[in-house]
Amino acid sequence: MKYLDEFQDPDLARRLLDDIHSVVTRPWALMEVCGGQTHTIIRHGIDQLLPDQVELIHGPGCPVCVTPLEVIDKALEIASRPGVIFCSFGDMLRVPGTGRDLFQVRGEGGDVRVVYSPLDALHIAQQNPDREVVFFGIGFETTAPPNAMTVYQARKLGIKNFSLLVSHVRVPPAIKAIMESPNCRVQGFLAAGHVCSVMGVGEYPELADRYRVPIVVTGFEPLDILEGVRRTVLQLERGEHTVDNAYPRAVRPEGNPAAQAMLADVFEGTDRAWRGIGVIPDSGWRLSSRYRDFDAEHRFSVGDIDTREPAECRSGEVLQGLLKPNECAAFGTTCTPRNPLGATMVSSEGACAAYYLYRRLDITTAPLEASPVA
């Protein structure tokens, strides 16, 4: 398949691995901040092929996983209300809130629908003028532009029965929070290529400079990851800390100005809570005052929510790169994709899900669930 097979070529992978082995002289810890990259790494065993000195730490790059429990609980509350059609990408339906998930709300009679685009939700709103239609708008800089565009369209078309439950987050403030954590071991970053294709690389030089870490914009196929690792390790070995674009086939330095303009029109910056991590200042977006009428939190008054995380779930440590999923006592025992305790086990980009899908047979200490992966 064009543009895919070329980036999975085993001979080229071997050459890149040889290059990495030949330049490494001491231990380095690199972090990828993208759940898609985490899955490529674990699926292809890239972390096991690298020199022992190179450790890949999985950061808070899964959009579903970092959506705070309070917002999940608000989604459950809104979706349970009569007259509401609650629309979401499928990933969010299994994410555990306090005591239940959106699938359970649907089982209890809630009108919860899986859509493939926020515009699908807008069409549903047009077709159901007597119902309130809410779209669950979560994710990083990648999903924010289409959500912004949908709200822009709703206002332009005068559609009053549509709103967005927003929990958008941004990568650069997360990198800052990680670097300022007292437990931080990260020495270099693989920046998420799709995020940079929207936002460009303009926010990264200051971070690279301030924390003296190389930041290499990296794609998602095995060769992309290896090239990102190679360039990061090369900088570390040379004592450099610059921003480097290893994904030029998708990323321009300035990003996508049209998407950025749409974001600036519809959203404004705000502090955001990240599940398992806590509040990171100025790390997200909310609807700006001009679009406040389309804010589901405002429309449905879901202020007082009492959240409870399962005590045994350590996804906060997983998301901060302090713990590998298989080091959690619940992994593969009381926590599986069928019965997830945390979002990192159920999301298709979650680190716990990646280890369960591709690594659980390597882990001999925990008895495994007999049923297949959901």
Q: Name which position in 318, 347, 359, 360 contacts ligand SF4 (CB under 6 A).
A: 318
60 is an interface residue for ligand SF4 by CB under 6 A = no
Count of positions on this chain that bind ligand SF4 (CB under 6 A): 16
Residue owning tokens 């406040």: 292
The one segment of 12-20, 43-51, 254-262, 328-336 that binds ligand SF4 by CB under 6 A: 328-336
User: Which C-beta is closer to ligand SF4: that of 187 or that of 344?
Assistant: 344
Interface positions, 337-356, toward ligand SF4 (CB under 6 A) = 340-342, 344-345, 352
What would the 3-class secondary structure string for 267-327 be?
A: EEEEEEEECCCEEEEEEEEEECHHHHHHEHHHHHCCCCCCCCCCCCCCHHHHHCCCCCHHH
Dist. CA 270–CA 68, nearest whole Å: 14
CA–CA distance from 174 to each of 178, 271, 294 (Å)?
Answer: 6, 11, 27
Closest approach, Cβ 345 to ligand SF4, in A, equals 4
328 is an interface residue for ligand SF4 by CB under 6 A = yes
User: Which C-beta is closer to ligand SF4: that of 181 or that of 326?
Assistant: 326
121 is an interface residue for ligand SF4 by CB under 6 A = no
Helix axes 35-43, 222-238, angle to 10 degrees: 100
CA–CA distance from 89 to each of 67, 137, 211, 268 (Å)?
Answer: 13, 9, 36, 23
Token couple for 333: 């025992």
Q: Name which position in 30, 42, 313, 354 contacts ligand SF4 (CB under 6 A).
A: 313
Q: Name the residue whose CB lies closest to ligand SF4.
A: 342
**297 within 8 A of 165, measured Cβ to Cβ:** yes
Token couple for 116: 């493939």
Closest approach, Cβ 362 to ligand SF4, in A, equals 15
335 is an interface residue for ligand SF4 by CB under 6 A = yes
315 is an interface residue for ligand SF4 by CB under 6 A = yes
Task: DSSP letter for 368, please.
Answer: P
Closest approach, Cβ 114 to ligand SF4, in A, equals 22
Q: Name which position in 190, 331, 337, 347 contacts ligand SF4 (CB under 6 A).
A: 331
Binding site for ligand SF4 (CB under 6 A): 312-315, 318, 325, 328, 330-331, 335, 340-342, 344-345, 352
